[in-house]
Structure 1
Amino acid sequence: MDAAMRGDARKETPRSRLLAAALALYSRHGVNGTSLQMIADRLGVTKAAVYHQFRSKDAILLALLEPLVSDMREVVERAECERTRTAQVESVLTGVIDLAVRHREVSALMQADPAVPALHASQSDSAALSERIGQLLLGPDPEPGRLISVAMLGSALMMTGKNPKLAAVEDEELRRQMLVAARRLLGLRSRG
């Protein structure tokens, strides 16, 4: 479960339990393969109880994606405030890796499920944010090698955190290793 949805049971709300159940089902069956009835069954409630919280699967999906988009916005704005190109790249790279780790399941869902990007791009500014992240990493007039490296990096970052072989890796270690690998892929100097 994503860090945003983790916490002790005393803080859980019907909405957060519904989002956690939907994320688990979306991850297993895909968005199109998951019905509102399946979500209700997993929670042990009626379909009407699900409708009370959300009117559609799309509304549930957008609620799952919103924390990620909000965090993306902060990463982009912080990086764009940096004075040098090197500082911008470092800021956005570190920020995106933090996002991929913090939002492991949602990030993987965005990459793996074809229903997610189309809905999300039509309902929010995530496409524009992704474009700004790409521009920060690419810089002006990127060479083909840089274009390929950034494209590979984008897909890899979002899927790495969800890799079942890495489930036992603690967030901080995952973050550190992803940053080392990302810097290597982009040809950046390693930081101590």
Structure 2
Amino acid sequence: MAKPVSPRGLARGRVLDCAVALFAECGVHGTSLKMIAQRLGVSKAAVYYQFSSKEEIATEVLRPILEDVTRVIKIAEALPDWEARRAVACSGLVEMAIRHRQLAAVFVGDPAMPLIAPMELRAVTGELRKLLEGPEPDAQSRIAVAVFFAGMGNAVADPLLADIDDDELHGVLLDLSNRIVRPTTDGD
């Protein structure tokens, strides 16, 4: 009698779950396909059957974030004026960061991220920057957006803030984002 085989989707999910755990322990750079295979108790070839590289695994792990950012951009771009687009982009990004708080703890600050981040994610991040910076960004708006991205990413990933529940973190981040990333007017 032939041994039952699990569906490919289930096996891919197991590889992704294992990879996230190892990324959290060892970083993306410090995790190898061999380590993933050993942790799963399978051959390296079995992992290669599911994914061609560690970068492909990391890309799949990041896929929900990419889809969320794309959705936020589409919603924001449908609005009539820049201020409304900016507000929706800020709010959507904060909600997304809270929703993916556990992934942020794995990936934020990992030195391998700039090398493995999929081109799609870099592209949508660039679109999001444009929405937040405005139609004619000056140095202040560009710096404010950089501070917003870095600060939000670090806040949701910071283990010293893990005791703060999602609702409270959401409220504080939304308030801060509206103070950091806002249009400047003469006299501000």
Equivalence for 2:176:
181
Equivalence for 2:127:
132
Write the mapping of 1:114-153 to structure 2, written as runs, cut at 5 A. Answer: 114-121=111-118, 124-153=119-148
**Residue pair 2:68, 2:96 contacting (<8 A) in 1 also:** yes
Write the mapping of 1:1-12 to structure 2, written as runs, cut at 5 A. Answer: none
Write the mapping of 1:32-51 to structure 2, written as runs, cut at 5 A. Answer: 32-51=29-48
Aligned residue-pair number: 175
- SS for the counterpart of 1:142 is coil
Q: Does 1:158 align with 2:153?
A: yes
Q: CA deviation at 1:184?
A: 2.0
- SS for the counterpart of 1:45 is coil
> What is the TM-score normalised by the length of structure 2?
0.82
Equivalence for 1:80:
77
CA distance in 1, matches of 2:58, 2:180: 32
**Residue pair 1:108, 1:161 contacting (<8 A) in 2 also:** yes
Q: CA deviation at 1:51?
A: 2.4
CA distance in 2, matches of 1:108, 1:130: 19
- C-alpha distance after superposition, 1:160-187 (max 9, x if no partner): 2111122233222221221112112235
Q: Does 1:98 align with 2:67?
A: no
The structure-2 alpha-carbon separation of the partners of 1:159 and 1:99, relative to structure 1 and needing over 3 Å to count, comes to same
Equivalence for 1:4:
none
**Residue pair 1:104, 1:162 contacting (<8 A) in 2 also:** yes
RMSD: 2.1
Amino acid of the structure 2 residue aligned with 1:70: E
**Residue pair 2:108, 2:157 contacting (<8 A) in 1 also:** no
- SS for the counterpart of 1:107 is helix
Amino acid of the structure 1 residue aligned with 2:90: L
**Residue pair 1:110, 1:117 contacting (<8 A) in 2 also:** no
- SS for the counterpart of 1:32 is coil
- SS for the counterpart of 1:55 is coil
CA distance in 1, matches of 2:105, 2:159: 11
- C-alpha distance after superposition, 1:52-92 (max 9, x if no partner): 32222111111111111111111111101111222101110
**Residue pair 1:27, 1:105 contacting (<8 A) in 2 also:** no
Amino acid of the structure 1 residue aligned with 2:141: R
CA distance in 2, matches of 1:104, 1:92: 18
Write the mapping of 1:20-39 to structure 2, written as runs, cut at 5 A. Answer: 20-39=17-36
> What is the TM-score normalised by the length of structure 1?
0.80
Q: CA deviation at 1:147?
A: 1.7
